[in-house]
Copies of this chain bind each other. A is one copy, B any other.
Amino acid sequence: MKRFQELSHAFLKYFDTAHFPDQPSGLYDAASYMLGAGGKRIRPVLCLMGNELFANIHADAWKTATAIELFHNFTLIHDDIMDKAPLRRGNATVHAKFNESSALLAGDVMLLRAYGYLNTTESHHVQMLISQMNEVGRQVCEGQQMDMDFENRESVPLISYLQMIELKTAVLLAASLRMGAFIAGAGEDDQRNLYAFGKNLGLAFQVQDDWLDAFGDPEKFGKKTGGDIIQNKKTFLLLKALETADASQKKDILQLLEYTGADKVDKMLVLFSACGVDKAAQTAQKRYFDQALADLEQIRIPPERKIPLKEMAAYLLQRNA
């Protein structure tokens, strides 16, 4: 049984290969640039961990992990085009570095390549793996559309936001684990519980991300805080605040959304705290995290095999296991 960091290191080595031909360079340079820009490779490692939870790591788990990472990068390239994002992880996004057309096409070939890897798994695995990839692909697209729709809506219920982050973020973490478990021959109940573990972990992670962007320590968080507030992003915090605020607080929040002064972030944080959404986010995150651990508990496997997943969850959420 290997820990997250060990598998992460092993995957980085495995993944560090040419996934594309050279020509036409306008297309493949864009694709390779994206893959060279790094990232934590969490999803493929989850696939490997889901596999190793039940058995020694199968060759198909490595192929599937590769497909998952390519799929994830396809979504990032296309999302960045849609969001007109200039930067990702401090580097120029693909469309900013090249152009929108090459980025669009690079995303397309990356998705095709992901199916290419899945299609080389053993014949008794292929259909189930592709079916799971199709399902998660549809869900991620739906989540992205909801996210864009929300930007143009005046009010969004918190429950719709949670549904959106489940589709856009959590299901891919969940499906990565389940695909690994499927390859290991895990039973349906165990697969379902592992999927639930991943989904709840993903929700906890996303709520934490919203919290960190507002209340986190910039040094530990690795980026400037307050970005979501400056952009009026509809986060867990803002939506929860709008739902729990009294009439006067709500008026203040809505006014602050129009405000662009340098102290906008500080003023909003005061309001967030006054509405108790600071605590509410931490409570929600803990609830998802605890549910994830309860889901993991249900899996009929000796407890010691679950240690790497517990450690990984604690690591992702910067909590004590």
CB distance from A157 to the nearest CB of B (A): 15
CB distance from A24 to the nearest CB of B (A): 4
The answer to the question of A57 belonging to the interface, with a C-beta cut-off of 8 Å to chain B, is: no
Other than the known A109-B137, A116-B131, what 13 A-B pairs have Cβ atoms closer than 8 Å? A27-B141, A27-B142, A78-B104, A78-B105, A81-B104, A82-B100, A101-B148, A105-B141, A111-B111, A112-B134, A112-B141, A115-B130, A116-B134
Q: Which residues of B contact A148 (CB under 8 A)?
A: 26, 101-102
- Return the chain B residue nearest A149 by Cβ: B26
Q: Which residues of B contact A78 (CB under 8 A)?
A: 104-105, 108
Identify the stretch in A119-127, A193-201, A210-218, A302-310 within 8 Å (CB) of chain B at 4 or more residues. A119-127
Q: Which residues of B contact A109 (CB under 8 A)?
A: 137-138, 141
The answer to the question of A232 belonging to the interface, with a C-beta cut-off of 8 Å to chain B, is: no
The answer to the question of A146 belonging to the interface, with a C-beta cut-off of 8 Å to chain B, is: yes
The answer to the question of A64 belonging to the interface, with a C-beta cut-off of 8 Å to chain B, is: no
A119–B145 CB distance below 8 A: no
A119–B130 CB distance below 8 A: yes
In the assembled complex, 21 residue pairs joining A and B whose CB atoms fall closer than 8 Å, in A order, are A24-B149, A26-B145, A27-B142, A78-B104, A78-B108, A82-B101, A82-B104, A101-B148, A104-B104, A105-B145, A108-B137, A109-B141, A111-B112, A112-B138, A112-B141, A115-B115, A115-B130, A115-B134, A119-B127, A119-B130, A130-B130
Interface residues of A (CB under 8 A from B): 23-24, 26-27, 78, 81-82, 100-102, 104-105, 107-109, 111-113, 115-116, 119, 123, 126-127, 130-131, 133-134, 137-138, 141-142, 144-146, 148-149
CB distance from A161 to the nearest CB of B (A): 14
Interface of A is mostly: helix
A112–B137 CB distance below 8 A: yes
CB distance from A59 to the nearest CB of B (A): 16
Q: Which residues of B contact A127 (CB under 8 A)?
A: 119, 123, 126
Q: Which residues of B contact A141 (CB under 8 A)?
A: 27, 105, 108-109, 112
In the bound complex, CA of A142 to CA of B22 (Å): 11
- Return the chain B residue nearest A78 by Cβ: B104
CB distance from A99 to the nearest CB of B (A): 9
Known interface pairs A101-B82, A104-B104. Does A142 touch B112 (Cβ–Cβ under 8 Å)?
no
A24 CB contact (under 8 Å) in B101, B113, B145: B145
In the bound complex, CA of A113 to CA of B101 (Å): 22
CB distance from A52 to the nearest CB of B (A): 26
CB distance from A145 to the nearest CB of B (A): 4
In the bound complex, CA of A115 to CA of B135 (Å): 11
B101–A119 CB distance below 8 A: no
A24–B104 CB distance below 8 A: no
CB distance from A275 to the nearest CB of B (A): 29
In the bound complex, CA of A126 to CA of B82 (Å): 33
CB distance from A167 to the nearest CB of B (A): 9
